[in-house]
Structure 1
Amino acid sequence: MFLPNADEDLELGDNIDVFVNLKDGSRWSATIIILAQVEILMKRWAASGEALGGRYFWCSDGLIVRDAGISNMTQVLAGLIETGEFTQILQRLDD
């Protein structure tokens, strides 16, 4: 998970938990992770034996994107909201 300090570059984030509050009052969550970070994790798990030796990656509200950074991830989220696809990808939080 990317928890930046005040002096960290937000465009380097590669694994971020997000909460989305929409105007209709609904709340949504996702774990956004870049494809390269998934590969790193799976290689690490292959060595440690986790996740059946790194043979799979799973998270309940996962969204894999190609590029790192808050601005890229925000653009992806905005696009999903515009198209309405976010309801199939993000996890709705109980009101």
Structure 2
Amino acid sequence: MYEISDGFLTLQVELGEDLPEAIENADGWVSLPTGERWSATFLTYREMGRIMERWAGTGECLAGTYFTCPDLVVTRRPGVHEMFAAVRDLVSSGDHEMSLRRLE
């Protein structure tokens, strides 16, 4: 588990085996000062392509024809700092309420 915080919000990311600056696929949890918690699934464009190519062979999602995820945040570049920047922007604009999944 990798955690990054700036005193306003905390982003925890499940990394797996990749280094924090190279991660392209991660599950994250956002904690706000209000106590609210939100989930996020982070992918890069490249990782989405790899997943859909794999699904083309397994038959999932009409053989990789589409991809869906309720709390998806797609970043252009890999790394937890890219993920954090995206979440910070979502929270500052209030868009996290539409884009992320609120946890009870």
Q: What is the TM-score when the length of structure 2 is the normalising length?
A: 0.80
> In the alignment, what sits opposite 2:58?
48
| Percent identity for Structure 1 against Structure 2 | 34
Structure 1 residue ranges (4+ consecutive) displaced by more than 6 angstroms after TM superposition: none
Q: Which has the higher strand share?
A: 2
Query: Once superposed, what is the RMSD of the aligned Cα atoms?
Result: 1.4
Q: Higher RCO, 1 or 2 (CA under 8 Å, sep at least 6)?
A: 1
Match of 2:89 in 1: 79
CA distance in 2 between partners of 1:33 and 1:2 (Å): 12
| Structure 1 spans left out of the alignment, 5+ residues | none
The equivalent residue for 1:39 is: 49
Structure in which a larger fraction of residues adopt helix: 1
Aligned residues of 2:70 and 2:100 also touching (Cα < 8 A): no
Q: Give the number of equivalent residue pairs.
A: 91
Structure 1 residue 9 displacement after superposition: 2.5
Structure 2, unmatched stretches of 5+, are: 1-13
